[in-house]
Chains A and B, each alone.
Chain A
Amino acid sequence: MTERVLLRHVGVPGQEDIETYLRHGGYEALRRALRELSPEDVVEMVDRSQLRGRGGAGFPTGRKWKFVPKDAPVKYLVVNGDEGEPGTFKDRTLLEGDPHLLLEGMILTCYAMGIRKAFIYLRREFYQAYRKLERAIAQAYEHGFLGERILGTDFSCDIVLHPGAGAYIAGEETALLESLEGKRAMPRLKPPYFPAVMGLYNQPTVLNNVETMCCIPWIVKHGPEWWLAQGPPQLYSVSGHVNRPGVIEAPLGTTARELIERAGGVRGGRRVKAFYPGGTSSRPLRAEHLDVPLNHESLAKLGSMLGSGAVIIMDETTDMVQVIARVCEFYREESCGKCTPCREGTRWVTQILDRILHGRGRMEDLDLLESIARNMTGTCFCPLGESVPPSLRAGLEDFRDEFVAYIRGARTPVEMPVRIREGILAPGG
């Protein structure tokens, strides 16, 4: 097991307090950068670290930064804290567990990119993270890490904490910008303009996710070579039928079997039936793929993807029809309604699945589902609509017998039991 990097201080009591953060070497990277490094040096370090965005798309962060026009008079940094893909909770874990790490990453990014004003777009449901960040930001100002002439240099920078109001689509980066501008969160057409060139208020904008930002202090503090030697760290959110669900830091390419083991094994010692390797927008895989390395290439070969690293484990008692229907319902609920294939497709698909679940399905429905999946592929305006076909395909190809059993009336939905665990009252949200 490699040493924890990103999660090193998550779970340390009081880590959200600046004193604790400072005791653990916090803001040293920022001090070092301001003293010894030029903004270009920092950009180069990030570029050489080969850091890839952790929001799901996996685009190299340094390259993304270099798209931003250097001489633009006004630029912004926007951090995407709108995590909400079912199965994903790593950003929330970082936000609640080590909020100053995010702030330090943001300040470093602003320094590197010559940015004066940064925003954290935080989904509304993260009440606890909001309270912690609010306090952390105030502390950072008190200690001179934010505001005018940071640590006595010419560099000044402000961070605004901005709450969302409940809309999964706001996590799509252009929809997030719309939302931050005080509008409905509906995706913008891109190209022609990517946020790096024309983002918030039509100004060049660096848009990164929480985990990506949390990597920056480590890279600046220890250097890109050290970072590369680490593996580099990857966070997996492991949930579903495992004994100890949680965020696990493990090298890219760790297998689901290893992750299950680290998550305390499968509930009741049962066998695995299937798993989502990268959240509900990835294609769920069968147990025979438990030893596939979870990385971008191997998963692409199976028609799936790593996405934001959300591994959802389903044991042999799982009703795949119910699961897939729930996934499609999610995208129907969260569709912004802008484009027809997504708005109508999600509605139609959930109607059919509902019919099947309630014993009124017909064999032709399976072909219908297939054709809707085909028609939704590559035709939706943004990734949300494209998230529906992978589950449907897996259902029709890998778990067809379960759908057929429902249609034949040989099966009715069973209620899945509540997880029983010790010490149950979780800390407040």
Chain B
Amino acid sequence: MRLSEATREEIRRLAARYPVARSALIPALLRAQEELGWLPPEAQREVAELLDLPVEAVAEVASFYSLLFTEPVGERVIQLCTNVSCLLNGAEVIRRHLEERLGIRPGQTTPDGRYTLRIAECLAACDQAPCMIVGTERYGPLTPELVDRILFGDGERR
């Protein structure tokens, strides 16, 4: 998997925003991930070349942050918060519902490659507890019915 010229150009542009190009590493990895869905080793190598960094420096960062995916993920990543305010408002009910409807456990991807379910730490949206982010959209407070609408019904956005 190679990055498109547009993405490569974008990464060069990102690097120019910082006094030190290495600062663009996370934004660059996010950009690459947007294109490929995750960060296969070749993509990490390409980013390393573009930013003139050792590939180890890139791998070290890619493996540290929870939203940089070094393994393939589904088309839509679900981040379900189960932290205190969400826990108090039924996050475990939502977790079980998601597990049942998707037939997977947290950390897994559905066999059709549509969804990856992940447990998120606090999403700083405790006013919407229990809440989740699907792709880049946040939803809450969730009920099992609402989860169904968001994932499978007319509640779906985009």
Contact = CB atoms under 8 A, between A and B. Distances in A.
A240 B130 CA distance: 10
Interface in A298-330: 310, 312, 314, 318, 322-323, 326-327, 330
Contacts of A428: 136-139, 157
A259 to B, nearest CB: 13
A429 interface: yes
Contacts of A128: 138
Contacts of B85: 86-87, 239-240, 245, 312
B122 A84 contact: yes
Contacts, number: 197
Interface residues of A, number: 65
A418 B26 contact: no
Contacts of A426: 125, 128, 131, 138-141
Given A124-B30, A421-B141, A181 B126 contact: no
Contacts of B150: 425
Contacts of A246: 127
Nearest to B150: A425
A334 B60 contact: no
Interface string B118-150: 001111111111110100111111111010011
Nearest to A428: B137
A228 interface: no
Interface residues of B, number: 62
Contact of B84 (A93, A123, A240): A240
A166 B67 contact: yes
B152 interface: no
A247 interface: yes
Given A168-B121, A181-B23, A245 B88 contact: no
A86 B67 contact: no
A200 B139 CA distance: 35
Interface of A: 83-89, 91-93, 117, 123-128, 160, 162-168, 179-185, 201, 237, 239-241, 245-247, 276, 280, 310, 312, 314, 318, 322-323, 326-327, 330, 333-334, 415-421, 424-426, 428-429
Interface of B: 17-20, 22-27, 29-30, 51, 53, 57, 60-61, 64-68, 79, 82-85, 87-90, 92-94, 96, 120-131, 133, 136-144, 146, 149-150, 155, 157
Of all A-B residue pairs in the complex, the 3 with the closest CB atoms, nearest first, are A429-B138, A418-B90, A166-B67
Given A89-B124, A179-B26, A326-B83, 15 more contacts: A93-B127, A123-B124, A124-B67, A162-B26, A162-B27, A182-B53, A182-B57, A183-B57, A183-B61, A239-B126, A318-B88, A415-B96, A424-B146, A426-B125, A428-B157
